[in-house]
Amino acid sequence: MKVEQSITEKTEFRLAQIRKWNPEVNAIVSMRRENEILDDAYNKEKLAAEERGSLHGEIIAIKDLANAKGFRTTQGSPIFANEIASHDDLIVARMRAAGAIVIGKTNTPELGLGSNTFNPVFGVTKNPYNLSKSAGGSSGGAAVALACDMVKYADGSDMMGSLRNPAAWNNVYGMRPTWGLVPSEPSDDLYLHKLSTTGPMAKNPRDLATLLGVMAGKDERQPNGVPFFEVDVSLKDRSLQNKRIVSFMRWDLPFEEGIRDLTEKSLKKFEELGASVEVIDLPMSMEKVWEAWITLRSWSISNSLFKEFNDPEKRKLMKKPLIWEITRGLSLKSDEIVQASKTRSEWFKKMACVLGQYDAAVLPSTQVQPFSIKKEYPEFISNYPMDTYHRWMQVVVPASLIGLPAINLPAGFCKNKLPFGIQLIGKQFSDNNLLNIAESWHRITGFSEKYPPFL
């Protein structure tokens, strides 16, 4: 009979993994002393059963874009390098209330911009499957910490694939929930759509569901949010016999060699599991979706960082893509923003019609394989030039623009032995359905557990 490990024993295992891996991959930053962490673990042991939450005694490192009281919230930027959080953000408070022990932060790109985790404060986070390759981003530190078994659960945030891209490149699960399911942090503006959302990451769908259950729930201080949704944390290995999967691979997007083949293999695997798979033409051009996205994204970013941008000294500390993004956002006219919002509204209605007929849609989570850590971003995909610093992540935009739920499923390895993942995209509030499909996928494939990284 298997003997259950104590909280202290589990904590000691995680800390050993951190000592082994973190000096190589640089995933966890601003970490507490080990003796303090072990003291917390010992105190958790003494709590009565009725006082134990669903994350009881689990250590967790918070993405360095969110506030955790007493820790630095650098956002990977010299502008905020010395900012000490005076409070927990809502999701951090919820994780602590569920019994988690916060041990530090996970590394992120500068101000969360770009799907490549490096910054001038903490340096680069490396892919544990190949230390010369990018870990993705912006939740790169979180994904690497999971892949290396430093933590069991990780939080991330996703504006433009940041819960999906790094999960794909590190062979773990990352979920962008339906927008509003996990509340954002209350700010000075509670009404305008911020495009991004916080969500869970884990090595299997059950843990993904557990963390989502902790993070989700209406915040009465905010007008948006979903008061009626309950996360299904008791996932079952359900048959995919009657599931209908739709492929979006007819969209005119450039992919690096091998990405299409791996996606087709994944679609065949769904058929082997009993699902029906259909390829359809999309109801709107990707370019139209893209133009709406970059307009609303630039506008949102320029508004959130306007104060820092107007400070000449702080502007000197900003990287070029950020300055480009803010400058572009400030140059937009009101009719351009309104038109982008109309396009987004049109896209939501069209996708609601399409996804109302299927259980999930499939796209790759990235358009390229993990690239060199010496490169900021790809300038070409298969000889197709990228006209912006983020065009190479266009494949994640269809879900992000309209706040649909999407999960990265680990889906095998490229010829260079680097991980690959696919997005499972569902209609609004189909989060539980996606989690159950992911559970069935995981029990058959088990990529994240069968093929851990090694140095």
Region 253-267: mean pLDDT is 97
Instruction: Report the percent of the chain where pLDDT is more than 70.
Output: 99
What single string gives the DSSP state of each residue in 74-110? -TT-GGGTTPBPSS--HHHHHHHHTT-EEEEEE--SG
**149-166 core/surface letters (b: 16 or more CB in 10 A; e: else):** bbbbbbbbbbbbbbbbbb
Helices 34-45 + 7-25 axis angle, to 10: 150
* Residue type for position 18: I
* Residue type for position 2: K
- The pLDDT tens digits for 287-306 are 999 999 999 999 999 999 99
Please tell me the distance from the alpha carbon of residue 436 to that of residue 440, in angstroms, as a whole number.
Answer: 6
For residue 190, name the pLDDT band (cuts at 50, 70, 90). confident
CA dihedral sign of residues 318, 324, 327, 332: negative
Q: Which of 183-192, 278-287, 304-313 is least confident?
A: 183-192
Q: Which helix (H) or strand (E) holds 168?
A: helix 165-169
Domains annotated on the chain, with CATH: 7-450 (3.90.1300.10)
Residues 201 and 167: beta-carbon distance below 8 Å:
yes
pTM of the model: 0.97
For residue 266, pLDDT over 80 is answered with yes
For residue 419, pLDDT over 70 is answered with yes
- The pLDDT tens digits for 325-345 are 999 999 999 999 999 999 999
- Which residue in 45, 67, 70 sits closest to 56, CA to CA? 45
For residue 216, name the pLDDT band (cuts at 50, 70, 90). very high
pLDDT at 36: 98
pLDDT at 89: 98
- Which residue in 194, 412, 151 sits closest to 303, CA to CA? 194
- The pLDDT tens digits for 364-410 are 999 999 999 999 999 999 999 999 999 999 999 999 999 999 999 99
CA angle in degrees (0–180, nearest 5) for 395-142-444: 70
Please tell me the distance from the alpha carbon of residue 352 to that of residue 404, in angstroms, as a whole number.
Answer: 10
Of 236 and 57, the structure prediction assigns the larger pLDDT to: 57
pLDDT at 335: 98
What is the 8-class DSSP label of residue 403? T
Q: How many C-beta neighbours within 10 Å does residue 432 have?
A: 18
Q: What's phi and psi for 346, nearest 5 deg? A: -65, -40
pLDDT at 169: 98
Q: How many CA atoms lie within 13 A of 446 on its CB side?
A: 5
Please tell me the distance from the alpha carbon of residue 383 to that of residue 365, in angstroms, as a whole number.
Answer: 20
